[in-house]
Structure 1
């Protein structure tokens, strides 16, 4: 049986545990550098072991058959951890909840997490460590690059490209054929009617620029 641990004891990390249980994956435990007392109590209620820090996991599981998933919201942190675990020979797995639906030719890279109720149609690509939260919809011919987070209820129309490390807020909407740039943010309930430039935060309906990250 496949064994896996989750990095991150917070809310999404524990939601990843739900998907692992749904798929019958043997849960090794949870890794976190600084778990709160509340999160440790919640892990204990689930009967899930706290394994220690990332450094401990790198030593303990280097070159082993145990897989991992990143239950951490920050895309930049996911990228760094992906590199560190890869250097240690620790391989990520991808996991898809049984209630998610997928059309023809959906390609899912290692580390991706597809939560309950997600709907993906045809000819879609998900990059490394992509997070699709509850009830997300992804239209045909869409590419979602590495380390993207799509929060609950967001809707991505067909032929959309979401670049690396972007974040779509809860119930955000992306119109067909658009591109959301690298490290950009589409706010909760925003409706993107035009492409979003890299390092830009947009909010509202229609989405307008709220901030740009300095280059």
Structure 2
């Protein structure tokens, strides 16, 4: 029996999330895991609405339409920015709908990894062993999280980002595209690691670091 899912966000990230849903269904070989009900978005641009239309998936309307969805409908938050994703998550909690965990068939999550609701692992993402992932963590294309890491809620690791073993990432951390976090480091909640940076020391809460080495 397929589960209903609604994608929240018509932007590029949301449409990529739809692609993961479709890939999961294709890998199920004729027994789809998900029944796609459509997109919701409070402020979609005309351009994004046209792009959604090309995907042949309905735009249902604003997030208020979630109140009309069947009990048990899952939500996939197609919101790339961690701060915005946390805000949307909190606002949508009033609807009482569960979050979908989506792992692309070309991603790998270790058998002893533990994750909260709403994990989205994009194609090529790699999570190894003894990793804990919080709520609504997004691991973008070809990103890696190595052994013994603890990753907080609403974290994003952008494409080609690499988190080495035994690291701790606080809630709402953003690891930019192509950035590297060396082993045994702590990245404070809300910190941003710029694209292409190499982190060689702990990063304080809310800090923005960039460069090689990251400062």
The answer on 1:167 being equivalent to 2:174 is yes
Q: Which residue, 134, 140, 149 being the options, matches 2:141?
A: 134
Q: TM-score, normalised by structure 2?
A: 0.92
**How far apart in 2 are the matches of 1:74 and 1:206?**
24
| Pairwise CA distance, 1:93 | 1.4
Q: Match for residue 151 of structure 2? A: 144
Q: Match for residue 39 of structure 1? A: 48
**How far apart in 2 are the matches of 1:52 and 1:74?**
21
> Which blocks of at least 5 consecutive residues in structure 1 are unaligned?
209-215
After superposition, what is the alpha-carbon deviation per residue over 1:92-140, rounded to whole angstroms, capped at 9, x for unaligned? 1111001112334111211110000011110011111111000001100
| Pairwise CA distance, 1:88 | 1.9
**How far apart in 1 are the matches of 2:13 and 2:172?**
17
The count of aligned residue pairs is: 206
**How far apart in 1 are the matches of 2:94 and 2:41?**
19
**How far apart in 1 are the matches of 2:106 and 2:81?**
26
Q: Match for residue 211 of structure 1? A: none
**How far apart in 1 are the matches of 2:212 and 2:23?**
36
After superposition, what is the alpha-carbon deviation per residue over 1:37-56, rounded to whole angstroms, capped at 9, x for unaligned? 11111111110110111122
Q: Match for residue 109 of structure 1? A: 116
Q: Which residue, 37, 57, 68 being the options, matches 1:60?
A: 68
User: 1:19-38 residue pairs with structure 2 within 5 A?
Assistant: 19-24=20-25, 25-38=34-47
Q: Match for residue 206 of structure 1? A: 213
The answer on 1:73 being equivalent to 2:58 is no
**How far apart in 2 are the matches of 1:102 and 1:66?**
24
| Pairwise CA distance, 1:87 | 2.5
CA contact (8 A) 1:85 1:91 kept: no
> Which blocks of at least 5 consecutive residues in structure 2 are unaligned?
26-33
Runs (4+) of structure 1 moved beyond 3 Å? Answer: none
Q: SS at 2:208's partner residue?
A: strand
Q: Match for residue 125 of structure 1? A: 132
RMSD (Å), alpha carbons: 1.2
| Pairwise CA distance, 1:18 | 0.7
The answer on 1:14 being equivalent to 2:15 is yes
